Structure 1
């Protein structure tokens, strides 16, 4: 059934795709169980400590560092694979736009408190470095291979643009919650925050599904499905955190998917 929507994968990327999906799904389950990736409001919550985690970096600088490899992979792909068709051009552009937006947000939009451990930085950096390189190279391997019977790249463009713009908008709303020197968390308001605790995750997932529709490779599909499961776990933990911290947090607000989850 998937072959109607995806390019036939190589054996290597089939195995890599399954490992990526399993790893990210396990990460989402760990978030639900209280073992969190250590940044933002979950810094120091459910951690088990290590020598590397005791090396702390300012969060703004750390987030710029973790997003930069994905951005550089996107830029490098234009030089390494310059003329490999419209679908590949769309994929390279989407990856570059997504990570350039994240670097921009880290530098100029987000309001941070606290720091990030070196082990967390390395974990996220390697994840983005490997995943973007794998998306790009798996797309390169489709050159000369017949297109999938069902072409999803044009719906993918629309979905990606909705995702990237919605994600940016809700990150902007989050940034306006705090004034200068204010490190206190507040209940987010505006936009889809009336429906879900983490609309920025919802739109990030939509953006990744847009990239998957553009790419139509098994690796990108697996990465996006894994990211969806991980962010569902992270959003579940976030909603639970809001409920524990704020007595007036609306009980009807779901975690990530309006009215459902």
Structure 2
């Protein structure tokens, strides 16, 4: 009965060792990254780079690249594969088209934000963090698209969530963009110091941009309705939850007037 209930929402897992292995790897590695954030070991980019280096005193051993170049490196390979997938798998149905569009738009938005919107401080990105993060984004995009391709030989799930997924994805991507815009406009011309963000849902939670990013990936999971995409979304949610808790700790360490009772990611709840 449980299996039948699950299969009403998901395609059956394809007989692929690669996809099965990546489902466990993505969920496990992202969840572990989230727990590492909670333990104070942060992925070394943005404001957390200097925070880590100050605590570990390992700056002289790190290769640091500029934030703009480093963040573009994170997202570009996944975006390029999203574009390439339209040529690799030219016509495999409307759901497959929606999945490829959502992933390609997601990473195109990320690249354009890096190039045109974000204003970076002087922290930079550690090269030994940029490479595995870029590889993770790339492999997850490849696997989501490949898993969808393999699922094409199975009947559609009896509960169709793809249109719900499109709605959630659009809300997520617009909400994330809006809150990134708020963050980008905090600094005036030539300013590099961090400030406490205000406006939008920043008045309710520390990381509304992460909340909307999770919502966007929930939308992608509803579009795909595959086990791998669900595993990746669950892992991403755990990582961003850990990152949100760390962000609150960072603000508390940086600003004496930052509210200690501020919610982390869910308004009024957590």
Which category describes the TM-score, using the shorter chain as reference length? over 0.9
Alignment of 1:197-212 (within 5 A): 197-212=206-221
1:112 and 2:112 aligned: no
Superposed, 1:1-261 pairs within 5 Å as 1-11=5-15, 12=17, 13-46=19-52, 54-113=62-121, 114-261=123-270
| Range that drifts further, 247-256 or 156-165 | 247-256
- In 2, are the aligned partners of 1:53 and 1:120 still within 8 Å (CA)? no
Deviation digits for residues 118-143 of structure 1 (CA, Å, limit 9, x no counterpart): 11110111011100000010000011
Cα deviation, residue 206, structure 1: 0.4
SS at match of 2:50: coil
- Relative to the length of structure 2, the TM-score reads 0.93
* Contact 1:53/1:119 (8 A) holds in 2: no
Report how far residue 51 of structure 1 moved: 9.7
Cα distance change of structure 1 residues 141 and 259 upon mapping to structure 2, 3 Å threshold: same
Cα contact 2:165–2:222 (8 A) shared by 1: yes
Q: d(CA) in 2 for partners of 1:15 and 1:77?
A: 22
Structure 1 distance, partners of 2:125, 2:251, is 21
CA RMSD of aligned residues (A): 1.6
Say whether the 8 Å CA contact 2:42–2:52 is kept in structure 1. yes
Superposed displacement of residue 53, structure 1: 6.2
| Unaligned stretches of 5+ residues in structure 1 | none
Structure 2's unaligned 5+ residue stretches are none
TM-score with structure 1 setting the length:
0.96
Output the CA distance in 2 between the equivalents of 1:52 and 1:182. 26
Q: 2:144 touches 2:229 (CA, 8 Å); kept in 1? A: yes
Confirm or deny: 8 A CA contact 1:70 1:128 kept in the other structure: yes
- Measured in 1, the distance between the counterparts of 2:125 and 2:193 equals 17
Distance 1:52 1:116 in 2: 14
In structure 2, C-alpha distance between the alignment counterparts of 1:52 and 1:166, rounded to whole Å: 38
Residues 11 and 156 in structure 2, CA contact (< 8 A), matched pair in contact too: yes
Q: Secondary structure at the match of 2:246?
A: helix
Which region of structure 1 is more displaced relative to structure 2, 175-184 or 39-48?
Answer: 39-48
Change (3 A) 1:52 1:118: farther
